[in-house]
Amino acid sequence: MSESPLIEYRGNCHCAAFKFTFKAPEIKQTFACNCSICHKNSYLWGFPPEGIVVVKGDLDKTLKTYEFGNRKLLHKFCPTCGTSVLACKPDGRVEVNLRCLHEFDAVRLPIGATSNLASKEPLYNVPEPVQFDSVLEGAIVYQGSCHCGAIRYAHIASEPLKERTECNCSICTRDGVAWIYPGLTSGVIFEGLSSLTEYTLPVKEPVVYHGFCSICGVSIRERFEPGEINRDRKVALNARTINDPGGTVDLDKLELVIFDGKAVLPAYDAGW
The reported pLDDT for the residue numbered 135 is 78
Beta bridge partners of 258: 166
More confident of the two residues 119 and 219: 219
Range of weakest confidence among 37-46, 113-122, 175-184, 227-236: 227-236
More confident of the two residues 117 and 41: 41
Name the pLDDT band for 185 (thresholds 50, 70, 90). low
The reported pLDDT for the residue numbered 2 is 60
Residue 94 has pLDDT above 60, yes or no: yes
DSSP output for the chain: -PPPPPEEEEEE-TT-SSEEEEEESPP--EEEE-SHHHHHHT--EE--TT--EEEES-TTTTSEEE--TT---EEEE-TTT--EEEEE-TTS-EEEEGGGBTT--GGGS-EEEEE--TTSSSPP-PPPPPP-S---TT-EEEEEE-SSSSSEEEEEESS---EEEEE-SHHHHHHT--EE---TTSEEEEE-GGGEEEE--S-SS--EEEEEETTT--EEEEEE-SSGGGTT-SEEEEGGGB--TT----GGGSEEEEE-HHHHSPPP----
The reported pLDDT for the residue numbered 88 is 96
The reported pLDDT for the residue numbered 145 is 98
Looking at the chain, which residues constitute the CATH 2.170.150.70 domain(s)? 7-115, 140-262
What is the tens place of the pLDDT at every residue in 194-206? 999 999 987 777 8
The reported pLDDT for the residue numbered 93 is 92
How much is the average pLDDT of 70-95?
94
CATH number of the domain located at residue range(s) 7-115 in this protein: 2.170.150.70
Q: What percent of the chain has pLDDT over 70?
A: 95
What is the tens place of the pLDDT at every residue in 9-65? 999 999 999 999 999 999 999 999 999 999 999 999 999 999 999 999 999 999 999
CATH number of the domain located at residue range(s) 140-262 in this protein: 2.170.150.70
Instruction: Tell me the average pLDDT of the chain.
Output: 91
Handedness of CA 209, 270, 177, 258 (dihedral sign): positive
Cα 96 from Cα 240, distance rounded (Å): 20
